[in-house]
Each structure stands twice: as structure tokens, then as C-alpha cells.
Structure 1
Amino acid sequence: ERVSEVILDPDITVEQAVKLRSLKLEAFRVNNAFRRYYPDKKIFSHVLGYVGVADEGDQIIGKTGLEASYDDLLKGQVGKRTIYRDVKGKTLDEKVIAKAKPGFQLNTTIDAGLQRFFYKRFKEQLNHLNRTSGVGIAINPQNGEILSLINFPSFDNNEPAKYLNSHNLPLFNRAVSGVYSPGSTIKPFVALAALNEKVVTPVDEFYSKGYLELPNPYHPDKPSIFLDWKAHGSVNMFSALARSSNVYFYIVGGGFAETKGLGIDRLQKYWKMFHLGKKTGIDIPAEKVGFFYTPEEKEEKTGDIWRIGDTYNVSIGQGNLAMTPLRLISSIATLANNGKEYRPYIAKSIVDERSNIAQLNIKKKVLDYSKLEPIIYEVKKGLRDAVSKPYGTARWLADLPFKASGKTGSAQFANNTKTNAFFVGYAPSDNPEIAIIVLIENAREGSINTLPIAKDTLWWYYMNRIASKKNE
């Protein structure tokens, strides 16, 4: 009778193994086996993922992260042997049917030094703010390589089972699965649409007195008020991006007085052009897609018609508009790269047991709007001003050793009682090597809390990846 071996416990201690072997039980076998160990634990866990026993059978397979995406390459080929035993379970003979073959090694795009620094600096800032959740991603705009991807809270991927019931969801990959309203980080795309559709020129000005007031046909004595975060005075496209003026983007997005504005259809046309409602196609599992509701979808879901206030809200990244942090920074990287988008990816090549290297066949360029480069150039000037001008919301980064560009953002949620804080940016401004997003959930004071992380991480990148090359 042929009987298959069944694994009773895949994870016994050395002491247990010695004791079991000393008993010399014929029906039992104690085998040595390789076990995956992750020395950096929480720092790389959402990139690498972890392994576990398959739902069916007893093989160890990749469950999340790169472990899951490239399981077929990493696990190799399982060996087979036939064991002959007598009725008492005593082994009479063994024959190897197929030798086990090792899997490939995987080379990645992750910059380990950058990842470690980014994680450490992010954790320090969260501790300082008494916050627990956030996302950090760094990407090379010129080719789509993910240089760093971190999530908070994180988990030790040597012991993932410990976190299954954690209330703050450390196993959840917020970078690719979390869907957030982008706040003011959407404004560069609104500016691009308004310029290309000739709604405004870069130097056309609107006046922000701190709010926009619309007549309310239902309550004439109670006009509708749409707030700016401060009174900015006269702003054009450059200073509106630098100052993050809401009133300017209400007007170019939804229209006001004699200015017609883009309207929701043209806004969504450009968001679709830049893939804001699509997955990026990154090579780790569980990527989610964001959304932006059409007027018809809003009415179907809520029973309420689309109003100009809805257009105002989405023009500043609030309301019926959301996306993943990865989607957002990938699209910002497209602007940084003058309209050319590359699919984000992490696995670069594989190495066999003889150290032969094979590049993975990855479709990289997925979008090319370089025809819009003159318009993108104007938008990028506004993003540079956000850092370089004394009134820029990202002026904290002005003394970096290279030119940086960026956009801050704050998005309210939970009935406007909490705020997620964003920074998106890239450097060097004229030839970007790195684009970065920092997102802190429920950040209290808003986007200013993201800037120390972004600044120190970009500074580290310059000193260790740009200046070091100049000194070679």
C-alpha cells in the first residue's frame, strides 16, 4: 500500500527534533528544511511579503508581496522520493524519483540604504506626532523603478500570524491597497487641464479673499461658502500652485462669474488621460483602483444631482475622488518626466544557481504625453515655486543641496473631523531622478508634518546617491 507522508508540524525547535530522533519512531521522520528568514523584519515587509503553507496541500508558498508575485521563480522544483516500509513502519529502502532544484534569486529595484533611512525617519516623525499610520514611496520617474516603499504600521514578516487580528491593520499594504482623497496634490492636473483647454493662461489672475461665495437659490439669505485656507489676494497659476489657493482652483475647475471653468467632464477627461482612475500594474499583489464618480454615478449612488459644489470639491482633491498613494506618485512622476509614464516595478532580474543573470521582461512605458510638454513646463514652474518662493507651502525644502519641486496637500475625512496630510515632489527639478510621496493619516496640523520626512529623505538621497557619484 502506498502511503504519503504528512507534515505534522513544520516548525519544531532543535530541542524537540533531538528528542524525537532519540525515540527512533519508525513511522515518524524528522527532516531538516530551509526556512525563509527576513533580517530587516519590518523595514521591507510590505515589499517582500511572506511565505506560508498553501491552503491546499503542505507546500510553502508566497502569500504576499514579491514572495507571492514571483513564487514560481523563487520556490524552485520540489524533489520526490519513494520510501519502502514494512508493516511495522520500518524503512526498507529509499529511491530518489526527482531531485529538488533550487529557485532563482531575485534582484530588485529597491535601494536598501534609502529604504532603511526613509523607514527610520518616517517612524521618528510618527512617534513625534503620536500617529501610527502612513505611506512613503520613492520612484525613479525616468524608468518606473520603485526605490522605496514603506507602510506604517508594519509587521515582522518572520511572524505574520501575530498580526492577523491587530486593529490597526499592519498587514494591509496601504501604498497599493489604500484609497485616499488626494487633497491639493490633484491641483497640478487641474492646472494642466485648464491651460491646455485655454480656460486660463499661466498669468491670468483671480482674487482670493479667503473664500468663494455663491448665491443659494434655496436660501437666498444663506449663500454657499467655499473656503480657501487663507486669503491669498491676487494669484495666477504659478502662485496658486505655490500657495495652494483653493479659490483659484474652484474657479478654473468649476467656473465663477465670467470664467466658465473646465467643468466635471473636462476635468475627468484629463484625469483619465493621466490614468488617475487606473491601476499602475505594479508587480506586487492586491493593488486597488481608485475612483472619480461621474454626475450620473453620483446621482445613482446617492440620489442627489451633481452640483457646482461637487466640481469645486474635486478640483481641490476632495469629495468624489480617490486613488492609491502609488497611483498618485506614479502620475506625479509622469509630470516630472514631461508626460512620459513608466509602469512602476520592483523585480529587476533573476539569478540562477550558476550566477547567470536574466532580465525580467517588463513592459515599461505605458503613457507618452510629451506633446503636452510646453504645458507641463508651466505647471512644473508652479511646483518649483512651491519650494523656492518664500510664500510656497513646501518652502521647508528650499535649502536642499539640489533643486526640488513639490506640492503639499491636506484631505479631510470622517465628516471633516480628521485630516490626511500629503507631500508629493521630485528632484532634481530639471532632471528628476527621484519622485517621492509622504502620506500621514490623521496628521492633525496637516501637510506641514510631512515636510521634515520628505526633506531629510531627499537630502539623504542627494548625499548618498548624487554627490557620492560626483566625488568618484
Structure 2
Amino acid sequence: MWRKRAIGWLFISLIGLMFLLGRLMQIQLFETETFSKHNVNLLEESVKQRTQELVIDNGRGNFLDRNGTMLTHKTMSVLVLFPFLKKMDWKVNQVADITGIPVNFLKNAVTGAKKPFAYGDPEPVELTSAQMEKINALKIPGVFAIEKKFERKEVPAEQLIGLTGENAKELQKRYPNKELSEKTLIGVSGLEESFDEFLLPEGKSKLVYHVDGGGAPLFGINVKYVDPANPYYPVNVRTTIDKSLQQKAEQLVDKYQIKKGGLVLLDIQDNSVLAMVSRPTINEKDPYNGTGITNIMLKQQIMGSVFKTVVAAASIDQNLDDPTRQFDCSKKINGKPELKYNYGMLNFSDSFARSCNRTFGELARELQKMNPNLLEEYAAKLSLTGSVGWQGDIYHTSDFKQLPDEDTGRVFVSDEARKDSNFAAMSGIGQHEVRSTPLAVANMMATIARGGKKEMVRAVSKIEYKNGTTMVDFNEKDIKGGTISPYTAMKLQKLLREVVLNPNGTGRWFKDLPFEVAGKSGTAETGKYKDGKQLHNKWFAGYFPYQNPKYALVAVNLDVLDSEGGVNLLFADMVKMLYEKDKGME
């Protein structure tokens, strides 16, 4: 009996031993870099237990402005000190003489350190190239002058660029076939998300040294430099943003206390984003939640009278713009007396300049009777209703979108509204169901300025390898579909300029600006109320200089009272700033 029990226990022990051996082989041989469902890199983790390191570059790709300046990060020359210096007699006086940092400051910093650090971090002291050379010439173990990448405290165009974060589940979902640490940063919003696959790190650049259990050097004081050593990665995503213009635009938006809204500035020549400001800002304490993460410039808004530009285009082509015809602008759309905006009898051009609702309500009804789809057709011709951000096939990705969060616009939601003359009249003045994004409105102005040529808007011009060669080019692309004729574009250009030149025009405030401006205002009722008062969306959309168009600009302030929150001063200051920049006066 006892022999059977012994054999049984021996059998169980052998099975247990085989299981442990199998587990050990799994850990030591087969899954050393992707252990468990979390894909833990056991080699990395074991090294971490016996090393201390300073990450110089996390390996994720960088965003550059159009001139090559880093947007989300900055590279600084800094002094790096290792904790083991506290156990050594090192040339602290010489380091102090070179850097100008007091000796006691350096000693105290090292005494309190548990891991390698850049002196002064989070606001490190920046060294000159001469100081770097002198520091490194001393060859002090644990003392280095290096170029290190730091995150910027304030990122220009933060909603457009977007956020990154750690999310192991999402990482595995996006890249099931890639061996990545669950600590790998991934894009959560904006361009960080849409370009995420290109930005993934090959590995970190870091300074490493081995320590014992007490943090003392294990193999002497040799510090290793670890780098993926790939000449192509990380890549650089070159945006079309001009960092200087972007920062000045943000300052102006905040100066005029835009709480919800912002602006879009396009380069008309290559139809790219020069600046894009969205408010509210991202909440630093809780960045992934709240409204701040949303790029308002890519979200559809009620646009009000800016939509009259579409009605004007359709009216021109349908011969409804007879200059001798008079419209009764002493009446509202519904025929009741207009008490607040009683302009009397106006012709087509003056109606546009003064933004007479009665005129464009009537014209929209007439267009609807001709063809219920005309308003939508012309909105599409002016790129208001489709997506306008760059999209196409690149590399190994089909239908890649630079701005996947971009809303598409609309004129009508239902066929019932499309065939109703009263709804058509309300749509003619940009109310009812009419919606578009500030980006699309800016693109409409650029389209008109170019004589009707309709192009996709680029926020990124190319992806570059680390060595500077091009990986992907985002060439200029036309938006498919019908366009307005050069003749129609020319007549719209004159109408938009008349908004500014007309003594009673809604853009008369811009008449004396250094650039000749053409554009259209809009004040839309939102259906929202504050303290019993209606809230409005206030717009001005235009382009300049009129004779040789270079910039398209939209400024918008959302959900404000009729008596406050105008955008004229913001628009005017942007025009002045751009003029000074172009003339080299800044």
C-alpha cells in the first residue's frame, strides 16, 4: 500500500516539476519579450531591477512646423548628473566654474537624487555648445553634457496636434501583430492619433548604469549609451503650421476672451493650415476628459449669414442677380415688419453687403422651386458639406485621413425640409438645419479666392525619416465633384469685397486695414439661452489681399450674447499681424 502511495506522490511530483520546468522555459526561453497577455518584456524588466537610466529620447516620432521647428517637444543641451556621485570625490568646483551653477547647488542636487537627472528639471539649465565641450572634456564619470528631448509645457495648436497616453488594451487592438511594451505611448486624439502608426517608437535613447540593491554602482562607474541606432526612425511629421503665427494667433484669441470658438488661417496658394486655434483649451489636470480635447474648428456649427455666399452663387448661375431688381428689406422673411434691421429697398449687391435676410430668404425660396437640391449642390461646389481635410492612399494605408475627427456639413436633414419653401428660406440665411465647420468655411473662402478651384486642406505636408529623406509626401489634391465657374467666382469676389467697401456693409470695419479684405459676416441664432437671452454664433470669414489672395481666415465666437463677443477686432488684428510679418516689420 505504501509503495503505491510513494509511486503516486512521485508521479505528482514529476508532473509538478515538469510544469515548473515548462513555466521556467516559457519565461527564460520562449516568451522573454512578450510574457503574459500584457506582453511584458521580461528582459527589459529584469534589466530595470539592476539598472538606473535617464531617457534622452522616448523614440516616438516628432511633429515639426513648416520650417522644421519641433512643436510638441524641444531639444536642450543640459547637464546630466548620476546619483553615485554622492559616494565619490568629483570635480564639482570645475563643473560649477564652467556652468555658473553654485557648488552647493550641485552637491545638494546630487545628494537628494535617487536616479539620473538633468540639472534643474523640470526647468533645466541650458548649456552653450562651448560649455558642453568643456564639461565632456573633464571626463568625470557620472557627469555628462548632452542633448535631451523635453516635452513643451505649452504645445502650439494643441487640439490639432492631439494627445498621447498609455492604454494597453487599445495598443493591442490597434497593433495585434506588433511586439510592443504595454507602456508604449499611443495617440489619443488629433494628428497624434491619425499618424500614430508612423510615430511608434523603435526604442528609447538613454544613458544606463548598473546598480546593486542599495543603488551603488555594480560594475564600477561605467555609463552606457543605449540607442536603437536606426538611421530612419523616429520619423518627423512636418505639419503645415507656422509656429510663430500659431502662437500669435493663440495670444489674440485669448486677448479677446474667446471662451468657445477660435480661428482657422489657410495658405491659399497650397491650401494648407498655417494656424488653427480652438477654445476651450485642454485641461492640464484632466486632459482626456472635458470639452477642451475637442477641436472646435473641425466640428459643425450653425453658420448664419455666411451661408448667403452659397445662395449668392446659386442665384448668379440661375440669373436671379438682376442688378435692377429691388428687395424689400424693411420686412422679415415671414413678411412682418423688420424693426431692428430696417434697410428699406436694396438691390442684390447691397443686400449681400448689408446681409439682408429678406433678400436671401426670397432667393432661397425661388431656387427651391427651380430645384429642391440646388442649395445642397452649391454648398457642395463650395466645399461646405463634404469633408475637406486631406485624404487618400499612402504607403500601405488606403483612404488615409489627416483629420479623421472632421465633421461633414449639411444643408437639410430631411427630404421634407428640402421641399418646404419656409424651411428653404430659413436655410437661405444659414439657420434651420444648415451646419458647417469653420475649416470648411475657410476652405470656401480659399476656393472663391482661387477662382473656383476646390482643393483638400492639408495639415501635414510630409513624413520624413530621421535622416531627412522623405517617407511620404502629401501632395496637393483637388476635391472631387462639381465646382463653381471662374465667372461665378469672380462675381462672388466682388460681392465679398463690397461687404467691406459699402459704407453700410457688415465688414466696413476692415476698410482701412493694410491688406484689402473681402469676406462675409454671420450672426446665427443657436436656440440656446442664458438668463432668458438668446445665444449666438458670431463669424467673419474672408480672404486677403483682395487683388493677390494669400490668406483665408475665419474667426468664430460661439454661444455668446448678441451684445457681446464680436470677432471683428480679432479678425482685424490677425490681418495687421500678417501684414507686418509679410513686410518684415515684426
TM-score (norm 1): 0.78
Distance 1:79 1:421, change over 3 A: closer
Aligned counterpart, 1:335: 448
| 1:104–1:98 distance in 2 versus 1, CA, 3 Å | closer
Q: CA deviation at 1:370?
A: 7.0
Could you list the runs of 5+ residues in structure 1 that have no partner in the other structure? 8-23, 81-90, 215-224, 299-304
Q: For residues 436 and 26 of structure 1, do their structure 2 counterparts lie closer, same or farther at Cα, with a shift above 3 Å needed? A: closer
Work out whether residues 368 and 374 of structure 2, in 8 Å CA contact, stay in contact via their aligned partners in 1: no
Q: Which runs of 5+ in 2 are unaligned?
A: 1-24, 37-45, 59-72, 74-149, 172-181, 206-217, 220-225, 391-401
In structure 2, the residue matched to 1:83 is none
RMSD of aligned residue pairs (Cα, Å): 3.3
- The structure-2 alpha-carbon separation of the partners of 1:25 and 1:426, relative to structure 1 and needing over 3 Å to count, comes to closer
| Distance of aligned partners of 1:70 and 1:311 in 2 relative to their CA distance in 1, 3 Å threshold | same
CA contact (8 A) 1:254 1:263 kept: no
Tell me the equivalent position of 1:251: 362
Structure 2 counterpart of 1:183: 304
The secondary structure found in structure 1 opposite 2:570 is: helix
1:108 deviation in Å?
1.9
Q: Which of the residues 266, 277, 293 maps onto 1:171?
A: 293
Give the SS at the match of 1:148: strand
Q: Name the residue aligned to 2:265.
A: 138
In structure 2, what is the equivalent of residue 310 of structure 1?
Answer: 423
CA distance, structure 2, for counterparts of residue 321 and residue 375 of structure 1 = 22
Question: Residues 264-291 of structure 1: CA distance to partner in whole angstroms, max 9, x if unpaired?
Answer: 4222221233332211134233112222
Match of 2:54 in 1: 32
- Which residue of the partner structure matches residue 162 of structure 1? 286
Q: Deviations over 1:144-186 (max 9, x none)?
A: 1111111001126xx5x623444xx11111111x211110001
Q: Secondary structure at the match of 1:343?
A: coil
Contact (CA 8 Å) 1:252, 1:261: kept in 2 or not? no
2:253 is aligned to 122
Aligned match of 1:278: 386
**1 CA distance for matches of 2:375 and 2:47?**
72
Partner secondary structure for residue 475 of structure 2: coil
Between 1 and 2, higher relative CO (CA 8 Å, sep ≥ 6) is seen in: 1
User: What is the alpha-carbon distance in structure 1 between the residues aligned to residue 339 and residue 550 of structure 2?
Assistant: 33
For residues 48-79 of structure 1, give each alpha carbon's deviation from its aligned partner in whole angstroms, at most 9, with x where no partner exists: 21221242333212222222222233334248
CA contact (8 A) 2:539 2:567 kept: yes
SS of equivalent to 1:232: coil
1:75 maps to which residue? 200
SS in 2 for 1:47: helix
Partner of 1:236: 347
Q: Is 1:48 aligned to 2:187, yes or no? A: no
Q: 2:555 pairs with 422, 438, 460, which one?
A: 438
Number of corresponding residues: 411
* Residue 110 to residue 429, structure 1, CA distance change in 2 (3 Å): same
Identity %: 21
1:197 to 305, 318, 327: 318
Task: Identify the residue that residue 39 of structure 2 maps to in structure 1.
Answer: none
**What is the distance in 1 between the residues matched to 2:444 and 2:437?**
11
Amino acid paired to 1:452: L
Matches within 5 A, 1:207-222: 207-214=328-335
CA positional deviation for 1:293: 2.0
Q: Give the 5 Å matches for 1:311-326.
A: 311-326=424-439
1:321–1:329 distance in 2 versus 1, CA, 3 Å: same
Contact 1:243 1:393 in 2 (8 A): yes
Tell me the CA shift for residue 418 of structure 1: 1.1
Q: Distance in 2 between matches of 1:165 and 1:371?
A: 41
Q: Which amino acid aligns with 2:247?
A: R
For 2:277 and 2:475, the matched residues in 1 are separated by 23
- Which amino acid in the other structure matches residue 443 of structure 2? S
Contact 2:368 2:421 in 1 (8 A): no
The 1:231/1:270 distance shift into structure 2, 3 A limit, reads same
1:266, 1:260 → 2: CA distance? 7
**CA 1:384–1:123 in structure 2 vs 1: closer, same or farther (change >3 Å)?**
same
CA contact (8 A) 1:250 1:315 kept: yes
* From 407, 410, 418, the counterpart of 1:291: 410
What SS does the aligned partner of 2:454 have? Answer: strand
SS state at 2:560 partner = coil
Please tell me whether the aligned partners of residues 330 and 338 of structure 2 are also in contact (alpha carbons under 8 angstroms): no
Q: Pick closer, same or farther for the CA change 1:210–1:239 going to 2, 3 Å.
A: same
| Partner residue of 2:279 out of 152, 162, 174 | 152
Q: Is the 8 A contact 1:195 1:202 kept in 2?
A: no
Match of 2:461 in 1: 348
Which SS does the other structure have where 1:162 is aligned? coil
Partner of 1:385: helix, strand, or coil? helix
Change (3 A) 1:310 1:433: same
**Kept after mapping to 2: 8 A contact 1:277/1:290:** yes
| Stretch moving more, 394-403 or 412-421 | 412-421
Could you say which residue in structure 2 is the equivalent of 1:266?
374
Distance in 1, Cα, partners of 2:246 & 2:288: 25
- 1:380 deviates by 1.4
Match in the other structure for 1:19? none
